[in-house]
Amino acid sequence: MDLDAFSLLLTPAGQALLGSLRDYDPARELAEATRLRREHPAELVSAALGQARLRQRGEAKFGADAYRMYFTPDGVEQATRTEVAEYRAARFKALGVRRLADLCCGIGGDAIALARAGVEVLAVDRDPLTCAVTRANAESLGLADLIEVRCADVTEVATDGYDAVFVDPARRGGRTGGASRREYPRTESGGESVRGGGRATTGGRIFDPEAYSPTLSWAIGAARAVPVAALKVAPGIPHEVVPDDAAAEWISYRGDVKEAVLWFGKDPGSVSATLLPAATTLWTGDPLPDPPAGPVGRYLYEPDGAVIRAHLVAEVAEQVGGRLIDETIAYVTADEPRPTPFATAYEITDVLPFGLKKLKALLRQRGVGVAVIKKRGSAIEPEELRRKLKLEGPHSVTVFLTRVAGAPSMLLGRPMEAPPVAAPPAQT
């Protein structure tokens, strides 16, 4: 979709056509397009059908607002989820921010949340189509009086007169600065260590902060020029590149790590992990050393991904009176149950050296038909293991593939809220 095609959607005919497509089935797009082209210009039909698909995708992030909003393909994928943007906007508001420059604004997800919090926003992006979409979103949601959209290179925009800056640099190869926004999900490797672990390298994502567009060093300079600032960065950012005068926050939504943010203007040197939608934060200005490792106890705690990324596993271990199961693995174990919002707790029934035959026999004996397989520090793929187990039965279990004191191991258990399985526990 180009700027001319998008402009057609803002005409009365375009608005009427978009309204009629809210509930259309994309699987029937060819038949729908053929029908609509009998009544409307082909270019308008193509733009409307494309926008209808994007709105359906946008509903996952923006709820009912998505059907009043406009998107580009990159924009709907990379925009900040509403709950995350609202949380950040509330933080800015609590810090006394009234006028903010949103640099690299994308389709305006953060600008919308800020304006709804009562903050006056200058939204800047270098891509003309993206700017047109952001402007249309502000008008459609009744926020045009609070959001000024400017099409420009963010590095050339003066922020004098603004008491805050928010910068979301492009972090994907092949994008131009100021036009790309992305939420980074939690890695699927399951091999995250106590201090963070491996970084994904797929999808064209950029992990060198100086390869961001604009670069992280430029964004840091822009942040230091105003009283309050926040820089959105990839969750895998190395802790050693975080400036001493910044507070680093990792944010997850329903267990998936969405982003890291470097805050300037308050609590320099602090580290925090925030779990949404509850907006529960684990914060420290003086991180603890890594906890010791010890034998697996009756309870296992799986820290939230944001806690792991923030290097706050030791703080969770202190909360639950626990220890690590291995010096390099971010699982905490304890002998007594102490619920914490920052980790999922399991009751462990079995601790076994890894072995497929032994696991199959035990699960068959227990009548287990459903196994939730988690891994951390293991090369075994859960789906491959599940196929080999050929489970049958009425019961369920959680299987952890991991290391205990350096040895490949299997831990069997259940979430603490779940009812016990029928068979008695066994410790080997």
CB 297 within 8 A of CB 335: yes
Give the separation between CA 297 and CA 87, rounded to whole angstroms: 36
Q: What is the DSSP string of 287-347?
A: PPPPPPB----SEEEEE-HHHHHTT-HHHHHHHHT-EESSTTS--EEESS----TTEEEEE
Q: Tell me, what's the pLDDT at 177?
A: 40
The pLDDT tens digits for 139-196 are: 999 999 999 999 999 999 999 999 999 999 987 654 444 433 322 222 233 445 566 4
Q: What is the predicted pLDDT for the residue at 426?
A: 43
Rounded Cα gap, residues 112 and 96, in angstroms: 18
pLDDT of res. 192: 54
Q: What is the pLDDT of residue 417?
A: 73
What average pLDDT does range 38-48 have in this prediction?
Answer: 95
252 has a pLDDT exceeding 70: yes
Write out the two tokens for 187: 């890695």
Residue 24's pLDDT band, with cuts at 50, 70 and 90, is confident
Structure tokens at 51: 């926008």
DSSP state of 187: P
Q: pLDDT of 115-147, one tens digit each?
A: 999 999 999 999 999 999 999 999 999 999 999
pLDDT on residue 121: 98
pLDDT of residue 267: 95
Question: Taking CA 295 as the corner, what is the angle to CA 292 and CA 297, rounded to the nearest 5 degrees?
Answer: 110
Examine the pLDDT at 201 and tell me if it is beyond 70.
no
Contact by Cβ (8 Å): 122, 148: yes
**At residue 427, does pLDDT exceed 70?**
no
CA distances from 282 to 8, 132, 159, 307, 311 (A): 48, 39, 32, 8, 11
> Which structure tokens are listed for 169?
């640099």
Question: In sequence order, what DSSP letters do the residues of 332-399 get, joined into one string?
Answer: EEESS----TTEEEEEEEEEEE--HHHHHHHHHHHTEEEEEEEESS----HHHHHHHH---SSEEEEE
33, containing H or E segment: helix 29-36
3-class SS at 45? helix
Euclidean distance between CA atoms 416 and 306, whole angstroms? 21
Q: Which residues of 124-135 are buried (b: 16+ CB within 10 A; e: fewer)?
A: bbbbebbbbbbb
Q: Which residues contact 139 (CB under 8 A, 6 or more apart)?
A: none
